């Protein structure tokens, strides 16, 4: 019970001096990590998660610095070490893994050289021995034909493979602790599962502890032993993973857990924590969560709560204080609304709004003519969308899912007319393509609310511009309309005077929705509208979209790589793989009884929040390049049921138990039932 912790952080404080004031990014936090343990650190962006990790390995970017507290690693204080001394610990005893595998490796050196350099820095090995060790490591992290790949450059590896190399690099001196900062966020779900399994397996094999920083609760559920929840630079709750996920105590954690859409759960609205995390230069007094907390009471704004024991966990909340919280019940009003969503069962007769037939979109990515002549290669095309048929009925939400690069965004752009389709027809409301009126009745919302709003315009101008110049629109009328639109998306009329940078990510997405609604469209094409947002803010936007749909009878095409989000919001779902729809069906049908092997693979790779510690089923392989898609069924290199026929013949969609599926195995009735094996 009292084994000495491997890492102990006491009252750590990280400050950033700026011209106006000193910002406190991490404010007086204490925690420990035991040997071999996985500590998950969760929280919204800006909560101070990465900063805590950087402080431990002494890599805070100046002018930031540790302003107080101490960090003790393996019995030695390390926060005040000189640069040379801490370098002996970095990489040797504490390893690190960062978010983006694409940019974590030096592009000019072979991966072998990078591993060997690191090994030689820390271990007394010769060049040759180091190479042998590097080879072993590459094999261990699952790089096929490592002897050959060791001399390859990073750009020759795919994202998932690069993250494996990064793991090899972090592990190469056999450290006792690894700080993994969002190690899977930049990866597709199927790859995410592979990387998490690998990391967890290797660490338990070598008894390495991990501090796993992530905002993905699913990853935490399957990996972590204990979890720390951070909010605005403080730890709000810390405890065993099962307690945090199933019986969260802190009102913030309760809200956070409720705002995550989950598959197999049918709620109309997600739990919503209103507002967003405060900025560091405007921290509320007392408990920093109190302006957003539904359980807040007078004392919360007065004094800052410290961590106290509550059950198996520790919580920083006055509700659990014997004196102050007397008689208060924690966290009311943060439960999910468990009413069946009306929109999920279409009652009206089907009324087609959009019909897409044989849509193809190729991009010419050929090298210049001269190179083509010299290398004797022909033109090259990216088959971004390669023959797509689907219809969307009035009032429904069609969800489009698939891994990165499978052509989802391209479909969206082709539909709103940003691309001229290579082939196929797009009929909107029975009018064939491109009539001017359609433009207004169809609007698009983009993933990145930063990039899609002109930073030099006030919100008023941004929204007003999209209001159609109709008959007799006076200045007052426009102002009134802008106010009305802002109110619809939950913003105040005064916000019209502000510039986009004065808003948070979620508010900016609200502005883009207001802009899209300006022309009173019937149909909204939403390309990953919540992917750049934190879960609690994502919940707000999803709830807003559901409300708007109900009120205005909107039809959505909702694109996302997140199956749980699509499950939550859609009435129908299409699954895309390499430019083709492989399966589409009603949401309930698709998620309860998936047919296509790819759909099943995607569902399998989602971490299960209710099943803590369970491993996801391993899925092999990665998405091939759309320039040279595999022959026949493009999924065959990754498919466990592939036959020779699959390699040569493109499967045609047929109807199977309520779904339309394009797969030979299903047609030949040799696919086992879902979840029976």
* Contact footprint for ligand SF4 (CB under 6 A): 250-252, 287, 289-290, 293, 295-296, 300, 305, 317-319, 597, 633, 635-636, 639, 641-642, 646, 651, 663-665
Positions in 349-368 near ligand ATP (CB under 6 A): 363, 365
Q: Which of 79/527 has CB closer to ligand ATP?
A: 527
Task: Using CB under 5 A, pick the residue from 409, 443, 599, 659 that binds Mg ion.
Answer: 409
Q: Going edge to edge, which strands form the sheet with 352-364? A: 381-393, 352-364, 423-428, 431-432
> Choosing among ligand SF4, Mg ion, ligand ATP, none, which partner's interface includes residue 638 (Cβ < 5 to 8 Å by kind)?
none
| H or E element that contains 179 | strand 177-181
Q: How many CB atoms lie within 10 A of CB 550?
A: 14
As given in the structure block, the two tokens for residue 136 are 């072993």
Which one of the spans 34-42, 103-111, 298-306, 416-424 is the region binding another protein (CB under 8 A)? Answer: 103-111
Residue 179, phi-psi category: left (phi > 0), alpha (psi -120 to 50), beta (remainder)? beta
**Can residue 580 be called a binding residue for ligand ATP (CB under 6 A)?**
no
**In sequence order, what are the residues at sequence separation of 6 or more whose Cβ sits closer than 8 angstroms to the Cβ of residue 670?**
641
Task: Using CB under 6 A, pick the residue from 129, 404, 452, 643 that binds ligand ATP.
Answer: 404
3-state secondary structure of 274: coil
Rounded to 10°, the helix 251-258/535-552 angle is 50
As given in the structure block, the two tokens for residue 231 are 């909010």
The residue whose two tokens read 């199956």 is: 563
**Can residue 170 be called a binding residue for another protein (CB under 8 A)?**
yes
Tell me how far apart the alpha carbons of residues 133 and 279 are, in angstroms, rounded to a whole number.
46
Count Cβ atoms within 10 A of the Cβ of residue 1 and give its class: 0-12 exposed, 13-18 middle, 19 or more buried.
exposed
Q: Which of 42/603 has CB closer to ligand ATP?
A: 603
**In sequence order, what are the residues at sequence separation of 6 or more whose Cβ sits closer than 8 angstroms to the Cβ of residue 144?**
none
Q: How many CB atoms lie within 10 A of CB 110?
A: 17
**Can residue 407 be called a binding residue for ligand ATP (CB under 6 A)?**
yes
**Can residue 605 be called a binding residue for ligand ATP (CB under 6 A)?**
no
The residue whose two tokens read 């978010």 is: 99
What are the DSSP E strand ranges found in 65-165?
65-73, 76-77, 94-97
Count residues near ligand ATP (CB under 6 A).
14
Q: Which of 50/190 has CB closer to ligand ATP?
A: 190
> Choosing among another protein, ligand SF4, ligand ATP, none, which partner's interface includes residue 289 (Cβ < 5 to 8 Å by kind)?
ligand SF4
**Can residue 560 be called a binding residue for Mg ion (CB under 5 A)?**
no
Task: Using CB under 8 A, pick the residue from 166, 168, 270, 666 that binds another protein.
Answer: 166
Q: How far is the CB of 335 from another protein (least distance, A)?
A: 40
Tell me how far apart the alpha carbons of residues 157 and 260 are, in angstroms, rounded to a whole number.
33
Tell me how far apart the alpha carbons of residues 275 and 382 are, in angstroms, rounded to a whole number.
42
**Can residue 110 be called a binding residue for ligand ATP (CB under 6 A)?**
no
Task: Using CB under 8 A, pick the residue from 21, 365, 374, 431 that binds another protein.
Answer: 374
- Residues found near ligand ATP in the complex (CB under 6 A): 363, 365, 382, 384, 402, 404-410, 561, 626
Which residues would be at the binding site for another protein (CB under 8 A)?
A: 57, 59, 83, 87-92, 95-96, 98, 100, 103-110, 117-118, 121-122, 149, 152-153, 155-156, 166, 169-170, 172-173, 370-371, 374-375, 625
Binding-site ranges for Mg ion (CB under 5 A): 409
């Amino acid at each position: 019970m009292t084994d000495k912790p491997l890492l102990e952080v006491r009252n750590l404080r990280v400050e950033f001096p700026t011209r106006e004031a000193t910002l406190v990014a991490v404010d007086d936090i204490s925690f420990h990590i035991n040997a071999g343990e996985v500590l998950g650190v969760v929280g919204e962006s800006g909560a101070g998660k990465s900063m805590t990790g950087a402080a431990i390995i002494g890599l805070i970017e100046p002018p930031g610095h540790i302003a107080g507290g101490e960090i003790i690693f393996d019995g030695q204080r390390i926060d005040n070490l000189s640069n040379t001394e801490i370098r002996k610990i970095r990489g040797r005893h504490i390893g690190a893994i960062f978010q983006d595998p694409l940019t974590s490796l030096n592009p000019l050196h072979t991966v072998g050289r990078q591993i060997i350099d690191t090994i030689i820095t820390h271990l007394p090995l010769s060049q040759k021995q180091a190479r042998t060790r590097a080879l072993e490591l590459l094999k261990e992290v699952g790089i096929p034909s490592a002897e050959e790949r060791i001399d390859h450059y990073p750009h020759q590896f795919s994202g998932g493979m690069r993250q494996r190399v990064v793991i090899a690099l972090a592990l190469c001196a056999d450290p006792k602790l690894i700080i993994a900062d969002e190690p899977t966020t930049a990866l597709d779900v199927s790859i995410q599962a592979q990387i998490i399994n690998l990391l967890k397996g290797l660490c338990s094999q070598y008894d390495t502890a991990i501090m796993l920083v992530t905002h993905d609760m699913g990853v935490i559920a399957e990996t972590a032993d204990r979890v720390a929840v951070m909010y605005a630079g403080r730890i709000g709750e810390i405890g065993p993973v099962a307690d945090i996920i199933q019986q969260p105590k802190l009102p913030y954690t309760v809200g956070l857990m409720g705002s995550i859409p989950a598959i197999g759960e049918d709620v109309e609205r997600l739990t919503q924590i209103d507002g967003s995390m405060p900025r560091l230069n405007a921290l509320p007094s007392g408990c920093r969560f109190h302006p957003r907390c539904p359980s807040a009471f007078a004392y919360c704004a007065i004094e800052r709560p410290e961590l106290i024991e509550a059950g198996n966990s520790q919580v920083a909340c006055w509700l659990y204080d014997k004196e102050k919280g007397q008689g208060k019940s924690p966290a009311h009003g943060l439960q999910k609304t468990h009413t069946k969503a009306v929109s999920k069962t279409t009652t009206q007769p089907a009324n087609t709004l959009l019909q897409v037939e044989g849509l193809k979109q190729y991009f010419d990515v050929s090298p210049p003519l001269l190179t083509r002549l010299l290398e004797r290669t022909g033109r090259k095309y990216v088959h971004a969308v390669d023959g797509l048929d689907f219809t969307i009925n009035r009032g429904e939400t069609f969800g489009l899912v698939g891994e990165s690069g499978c052509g989802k965004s391209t479909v969206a752009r082709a539909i709103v007319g940003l691309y001229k389709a290579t082939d196929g027809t797009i009929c909107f409301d029975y009018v064939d393509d491109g009539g001017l009126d359609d433009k207004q009745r169809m609007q698009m919302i983009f993933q990145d609310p930063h990039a899609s709003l002109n930073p030099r315009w006030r919100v008023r101008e941004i929204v007003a511009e999209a209001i159609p110049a109709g008959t007799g629109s006076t200045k007052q009328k426009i102002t009134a309309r802008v106010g009305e639109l802002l109110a619809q998306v939950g913003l105040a009329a005064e916000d019209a005077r502000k510039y986009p940078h004065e808003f948070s990510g979620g508010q900016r997405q609200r502005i883009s929705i207001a802009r899209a609604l300006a022309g009173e469209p019937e149909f909204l094409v939403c390309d990953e509208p919540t992917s750049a947002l934190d879960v609690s803010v994502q919940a707000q936007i999803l709830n807003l979209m559901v409300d708007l749909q109900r009120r205005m009878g909107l039809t959505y095409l909702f694109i996302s790589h997140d199956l749980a989000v699509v499950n939550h919001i859609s009435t129908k779902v299409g699954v895309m793989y390499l430019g083709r729809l492989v399966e589409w069906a009603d949401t309930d049908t698709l998620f309860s009884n998936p047919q296509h092997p790819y759909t099943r693979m995607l569902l399998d790779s989602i971490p299960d929040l209710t099943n803590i510690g369970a491993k996801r089923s391993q899925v092999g392989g990665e998405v091939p390049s759309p320039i040279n898609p595999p022959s026949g069924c493009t999924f065959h290199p990754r498919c466990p049921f592939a036959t020779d026929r699959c390699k040569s013949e493109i499967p045609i969609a047929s109807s199977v138990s309520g779904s339309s599926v394009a797969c030979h195995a299903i047609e030949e009735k040799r696919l086992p039932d879902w979840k029976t094996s």
